[in-house]
Amino acid sequence: MPISHNGHISITGVSKYFGRHKALDGVSLELPPGSVTVILGPSGSGKSTLLRAINHLERVDEGFIQIDGDYIGYRREGDRLYELKEKEILRQRINVGYVFQNFNLFPHLTVLENLIEAPIAHKQLSRKAAVERAYELLDVVGLRNKADAWSRHLSGGQQQRIAIARALALRPRVMLFDEPTSALDPELVGEVLDVIKTLARSGTTLVVVTHEIGFAREVADKVVFMVDGKIVEQGSSEAVLNRPQHPRTQQFLSKVL
């Protein structure tokens, strides 16, 4: 397997149980560095669980996930995998940015404080450098003038753009988006998708769970379709969206298009 440090995600035979319910069922996926992958599927198909597993917000029961050869949640020595302590798991997450459906900005901190929190906590940057970096990121998402605002005074679309900037502050190799536009009013969806499109050309590996078919068509290198915890179809966006092979994919696309 090629070892790069550009955000190569390798998922091998991953299963996850919630009680008796099998949320993920033997999922395997290779996502090359800098690629943009959109995961589609009906609700309850395990899309979000897979995304959470990549960031170890969800511990998988079978199989393993690697980013640039590092096992997520484990350390390999010879033929053994040692489970990592919480501290080491937290350090692994520096390489992975995560954007939530509900933004989850810290409401007691200003926008700027939200952005500098993680780089300072990880001693990646001095406070001054972190502030500079925060302003660069605010330019990327087009919200420089909101640096001193409180997050709850921003619209949903602005909050999500700040949340994306916050995730980018650690310069992650991988960005995960969990339905980033599902909690937004329809007229605010575009501004968030525009920011993600900018990132798609930046070399960061993106994985996006979404229902925005148009976005998938325009930006995705790869579209993955999941049903009942399994990947039933994957391929280029053109192939999966225009010529779906699996009946469940056809059924789903006929409903959402």
- Binding region for other proteins (CB under 8 A): 55, 57, 86-87, 90-94, 96-98, 100, 102, 104-108, 117-118, 121-122, 150, 152-153, 166-167, 170
Which CB, 120 or 253, lies closer to other proteins? 120
d(CA 24, CA 58): 11
Neighbours of 249 (CB within 10 A): 22
d(CA 103, CA 158): 10
Which CB, 91 or 201, lies closer to other proteins? 91
Distance in Å, CB of 5 to other proteins, minimum? 18
Distance in Å, CB of 59 to other proteins, minimum? 12
Both tokens of residue 121? 């906590």
Distance in Å, CB of 98 to other proteins, minimum? 4
d(CA 87, CA 106): 21
As a whole number of angstroms, the longest Cα–Cα distance in the chain is: 55
Strands annotated E in the chain: 9-18, 21-31, 36-40, 62-67, 70-71, 74-77, 80-83, 96-99, 174-178, 205-209, 222-227, 230-235
CA 152 to chain centre: 23
Which CB, 209 or 213, lies closer to other proteins? 209
Distance in Å, CB of 85 to other proteins, minimum? 11
β-pairing, 36-40 vs 205-209, is parallel
Which CB, 124 or 234, lies closer to other proteins? 124
Which CB, 60 or 227, lies closer to other proteins? 60
Which CB, 57 or 147, lies closer to other proteins? 57
Burial of 128 (0-12, 13-18, 19+ CB in 10 A): exposed
d(CA 18, CA 231): 18
Distance in Å, CB of 70 to other proteins, minimum? 14
Distance in Å, CB of 237 to other proteins, minimum? 27
Q: Taking a C-beta distance cutoff of 8 angstroms, is the pair 21, 45 a contact?
A: no
Neighbours of 244 (CB within 10 A): 20
Which CB, 160 or 237, lies closer to other proteins? 160
Distance in Å, CB of 218 to other proteins, minimum? 27
